[in-house]
Amino acid sequence: MNNLVNWFTKKTIVIFSFSFTVIFSILYFINGFSSCRHDKYCSNLTELGVIYLLPFVSVFILSLVTFKAKEPTFKHWINFSVWTIPTILIIITLFPTRTHGMDFLPITKGIVSVFLVALYSIVSLFLIISKSLKKE
pTM: 0.82
Predicted confidence (pLDDT) per residue in 92-126, tens digit: 988 877 766 666 667 778 888 999 999 999 999 99
Count other Cβ atoms within 10 Å, centred on residue 105: 7
Closest CA to 51 of 89, 80, 83: 89
Report the C-alpha gap between 36 and 41 in whole angstroms: 9
65-86 per-position pLDDT tens digit:
998 888 888 998 999 999 999 9
